[in-house]
Amino acid sequence: MVGRSASLEMQQWIRFTPLQRLSRFAVFFVMAAAIAWALKTIEIIPEFLYDAPEQVVDMGQRMWPIDWAHFWPVVWPALVETMHMSAMATILGLIMGIPVGFLAARNATPFIWVNLIARFILVATRSISTLIWALFFVAMFGPGPLAGALAIAFHSIGFIGKMFSEGVEEANKGSIEALQAAGATRMQQIVMGYWPQVLPTFWSVALFRWDINVRESAVLGLVGAGGIGMALNAAIDLIQWQRVALILFTIFIVVILIETIVTQIRKRVI
């Protein structure tokens, strides 16, 4: 604090550089502008909004009492199908996503154009939503759980591959270099060098994605791709709100159960 005596020249501390401040301001400005634009131009019919509370109360009354008798004949088989679908989708997604993940990782695949193609595959599969994938596969294989499983599997390639490529890029170089020095081929480097290092990533990604896939598979029935969504769709189309309530309640319980199981496994194993 030498310059303190010359009080006019007191040093002023500014937390961010001008560029940082400018980019922060730009982010806030764009956010505010986007919201202002959206609020100003969105088409909403006000009568529908005023009416909403009444409609929700009405729907709630129609949902009560829940139609429990519907559970064993219809909802349970659909639920089992959903579980099979999400398990198969997770496995297929891992089988397809992991190789793409290795191809997208810059250290495991040192060819820049291969990385770029793999990255494009990851983004593209992720940005087409499960419902759209399901439309394709229903058109290809007909309605049923097969289309659903394939839809979720293709959609999850992006997530699994991205997590994997990040895990591989963080891998320790030492063991890879040791393998290279011993004359290992690229395949051997991946199997003996990278794989053991990304094994924890593998388990956490597999569990996490399974959890997401169960939720996703609950909606696929809407486009005819099997599972509990099909029962939901049928109940909504037939205006059987008491059955809708039962199905929603079932989904709620199953999702909570699976999340609890996944959290417990992650705590104990990983």
User: Rule CB under 8 A: which residues touch other proteins?
Assistant: 20, 23-24, 27, 34-35, 37-39, 41-45, 48-49, 51-52, 55-56, 59, 81, 83-85, 87-88, 91, 123-124, 126-129, 131-132, 135-136, 139-141, 144-146, 149, 215-216, 218-219, 222-223, 232, 236, 248, 251-252, 255-256, 259
Least separation, in Å, of the C-beta of 193 and other proteins?
Answer: 16
Angle in degrees, 0-180, between the axes of helices 76-104 and 145-169, rounded to the nearest 10 = 30
Least separation, in Å, of the C-beta of 9 and other proteins?
Answer: 30
Q: Residues 110, 114, 120, CA angle at the centre, nearest 5°?
A: 130
Which CB sits closer to other proteins, 3 or 196? 196
Least separation, in Å, of the C-beta of 270 and other proteins?
Answer: 13
Task: Report the alpha-carbon distance of residue 17 to residue 78 in Å, rounded.
Answer: 58
Identify whether the C-beta of residue 235 lies closer than 8 Å to the C-beta of residue 247: yes
Identify whether the C-beta of residue 151 lies closer than 8 Å to the C-beta of residue 137: yes
CA distance from start to end of the chain: 51
Identify whether the C-beta of residue 221 lies closer than 8 Å to the C-beta of residue 138: no
Which CB sits closer to other proteins, 184 or 236? 236
Least separation, in Å, of the C-beta of 104 and other proteins?
Answer: 14
Which CB sits closer to other proteins, 9 or 54? 54
Which CB sits closer to other proteins, 99 or 144? 144
Which CB sits closer to other proteins, 145 or 167? 145
State both tokens at 203: 């388990």
Which CB sits closer to other proteins, 10 or 265? 265
Least separation, in Å, of the C-beta of 53 and other proteins?
Answer: 9
Question: What φ, ψ does residue 170 adopt, rounded to 5°?
Answer: -90, 0
Least separation, in Å, of the C-beta of 215 and other proteins?
Answer: 5
Task: Report the alpha-carbon distance of residue 40 to residue 34 in Å, rounded.
Answer: 10
Position of tokens 């519907």? 70
